[in-house]
Structure 1
Amino acid sequence: MKSVFVLMGAALASGAIATEAPAIPASSGLYRLPFADGTEVSVFDAAASHRPVGAVDLVGEPREGKLHRIVAAADGTVMAIQDGYSEQQSGRAASECRNNLLWLAHPNGEWTLYGHMATGSTSGKAGLKVGDHVRAGQYVGDEAAVAMLDHVHFEVAVPQASDPIDKGGFLNGNEERQRMRVPRFCNVPGQTVRKDAHYTALACGSASE
């Protein structure tokens, strides 16, 4: 499949607690776990253990024999899509991996990133294109092992207003992780996921928070 990468610019604002050096603020937004309702989700890496820090790696359970559907973590607008890659490249530096991704911009000025999804699942199965508006919980693609092992790489960020991401989908102006925000999740104790912990993906407001 031919690779497609598209981007739409937007003006954005900022957000505020810290994990480890470099200190990264917590997201201003509260997000749902980006898996379909009822999915058991394990945490391969939390914001503090992820390298580089700030992002989280989430895995749908069971890890084998079931296709896990990825959903929007909040209402937003599609800013960038890349879903033409299919090669698994685990072991390479992240900057060298050709990665399928989706960026959504949210009304609070934050963007969320969904990485390593299945080839064609965002533009094909989900039928999304840049400029589309999505609702929290709306299907946006399938978990897969493109570039890395089966998981979804999830980030919250406040991109710079002009030229927010590069051609690989990486944040510009993020050398010190200054654009990152530690994701806060509803239906998660303390609102922050922990490495190796398990949670159930649910819509915000559907369980005690």
Structure 2
Amino acid sequence: MKPLRIGMLTPSSNTVLEPVTTQMLKDLPDVTVHFSRFKVTAIGLDAAALSQFDDRPMLAAAELLADAKVDVIVWNGTSAGWLGLDSDRSLCARITQATGVKASTSVLALFDVMRRRNERQIGMVSPYTSDVQQAIVESFSNEGVEIICNQHLGIRDNFSFSQVTRETITEMIAKLVPSQPDSIAVFCTNLAGAPIVEQLEQTYGIAIHDSVATAIHGAMSTVGYDFTRVSGFGKMFD
């Protein structure tokens, strides 16, 4: 199979997505991942926090990835959750226009997965504050997906998301299971959810879609790569 080079746009304070991505792809020697950062330190709905997701620094980071001749560029972040999916659709179009490289995002890939699996009522685990979480609920509703149950931690500092333990993530997911959602989204690329997804899917019988994993799924799907070669990280790769 032709080698695949994936470019990832990464929040500057994220310490989870790079090692988790590397772990997920360790058995695929024909796939390499290359990262480019731009400044993101806090998640909120105030002007300062929202301005971090201006297209200009993201496009500058994407242009650096294009220098590495990557086959696809992925925004490995969840900002479209509170900004609306049109923000990611516009970003992908602008990345391709500026670089000539196909583009995807973690959030757009999540919706592709949910549509393919006919999942319309979901649960969500996130580290975000209540106002951000509510904005996500509304954004998903606008796209035809109802978040029927959620757990969030009320954290604003982006680096601190990475300090949330697997035990805490597991407990949050367990609290959503009785609501019987079609699936559960671990919605933040700085939460270390992907390594525990397969075990929890087996325990609860519910698909769990981690945001780092959906970024990889989106990258592969965008260029027609066989994503079923990824194993051990959730039903989305079946």
Greater helix content: 2
Instruction: Please say which structure displays the higher CA radius of gyration.
Output: 2
Structure possessing the higher relative contact order (Cα contacts under 8 Å, 6 or more residues apart): 1
| TM-score (norm. length: structure 1) | 0.28
Greater strand content: 1
